[in-house]
Amino acid sequence: MVVREIAVLGAGIMGHGIAELAALSGYNVRLYDIAEHFLRQGMEKIKWSLSKFVEKGRLSREESSRALERISTHLELAEAVRGVDFVVEAVPEDLSLKRRVFADLDRLAPPSAILASNTSTLPISEIGEATTRPELVVGMHFFNPPVILPLVEVTAGRRTAPSTVDVTIQLARSMGKEVVVCRKDVPGFIVNRVLAFIMNEAAWIVERGEAGVLEVDSTCVYKLGLPMGVFELADFTGVDTTYRVVESVLGRSGMAGALCPLLRRTYEMGYFGRKTGRGFYQYTGADWERPPIPRELADRVDPVRILAMGVNAALWLLRNGVASRDDIEKAIRLGLNYPKGILAFGEEYGLSRIAETIRMLSQKYPALSEYYRPEALLEGSADR
């Protein structure tokens, strides 16, 4: 299958970025949204982004103009998807909404068109069941901003055809992206499954009074070398988004009771991070503002306490054939910008130590024994 015409549904933070990327890669793009002002805002952001590429010498003015000419905007879904080869849905993370959108797409898009969702956590299989073509429904998760971050996570639903996965991989690569494949439709896929367990456990450390937010984030930045502390990252991406990711991953994995109350309280209070001026930190509204994280606090938290559940989640993915080791490590390095893969971190600190930490937590908090269950690949592991 040759992809020439692409429809992108949703002109918001992800949709306009995907549309820009596709146009820069030479595709004709139909950008759809439900209101004119959403389309106008999306196009303004695309123009701003392209102008920055021109300023930095990464694009010529002619290339920028040609990319803009490849994008048309649409308020009618039927018009947006008429004759397209591939659709990328980037509407809000609501399963019922996505299922309604896919049912409409099934009715309006060409029968041969592949229907992809940019969802970061929601089940591709359940989205595909809203159509009569689940074999042509696939997950194509870009990372924000799509024109900058190099990773695309491709996820197969239970009934997704291998040829659909292959076309999606080739499309992502044609846009200059590195691709990882999530072979099974599991909660959180690869990146967000690992991140959800790390974020939730970091919250439990604070909730239980073992350490404060600053101490955890200082350990992340100055001991582990992460680009941001986990709480800083939650504020940057939006505590509302982070909460929904963790809630979805744990809930769909049968561990809803393990969701840390600190995350729920922060979400329910409307402290969504930088965009609201307050999250786990407070903000003045300055551009590119980062909270001050003192280096001297980095020795107060054992890095293993932060990493252990993420390593456990990665080993679960590996044991269950969800992804290869190489794809898991690539996903974490490129999707989260970690200096090394999560399994490499586990081996550096010692898999036996990871297992011991999780067993200790299981014994200390027996009500969460299902959550604190060491992976089979950890049990009896011999550190290299």
Residue 190, CA atoms < 13 Å, CB-side half-sphere: 37
Residue 134 DSSP label: G
List 49, 117, 118, 120, catalytic entry? 120
Concatenated DSSP letters for 78-131? HHHHTT-SEEEE---S-HHHHHHHHHHHHHHS-TT-EEEE--SSS-HHHHHTTS
| Spatial separation of the C-alpha atoms in residues 277 and 238, rounded to whole Å | 11
| Spatial separation of the C-alpha atoms in residues 68 and 263, rounded to whole Å | 40
Tell me if 198 sits within 8 A of 228, measured CB to CB: no
Question: Is 192 a catalytic site residue?
Answer: yes
Question: Is 28 a catalytic site residue?
Answer: no
Compute how many other C-beta atoms are within 10 angstroms of the C-beta atom of residue 384: 6
Compute how many other C-beta atoms are within 10 angstroms of the C-beta atom of residue 248: 22
Question: Is 153 a catalytic site residue?
Answer: yes
Q: Burial-class residue 193 by CB neighbours within 10 Å (0-12, 13-18, 19+).
A: buried
Tell me if 329 sits within 8 A of 342, measured CB to CB: yes
| Angle, helices 15-24/36-55, rounded to nearest 10 degrees | 50
Compute how many other C-beta atoms are within 10 angstroms of the C-beta atom of residue 75: 13
Helix/strand/coil percent split, the chain, to 5: 50, 10, 35
**Entry field: residues in the chain:** 384
Tell me if 127 sits within 8 A of 102, measured CB to CB: yes
| Spatial separation of the C-alpha atoms in residues 210 and 208, rounded to whole Å | 6
List 49, 117, 125, 192, catalytic entry? 192
Question: Is 37 a catalytic site residue?
Answer: no
List 74, 141, 232, 248, catalytic entry? 141
117 — phi, psi (to 5°)?
Answer: -110, 135
Tell which phi-psi region holds residue 92, choosing left (phi > 0), alpha (psi between -120 and 50) or beta.
beta
List 20, 93, 126, 153, catalytic entry? 153
| Spatial separation of the C-alpha atoms in residues 18 and 140, rounded to whole Å | 11
Active-site positions read 120, 141, 153, 192
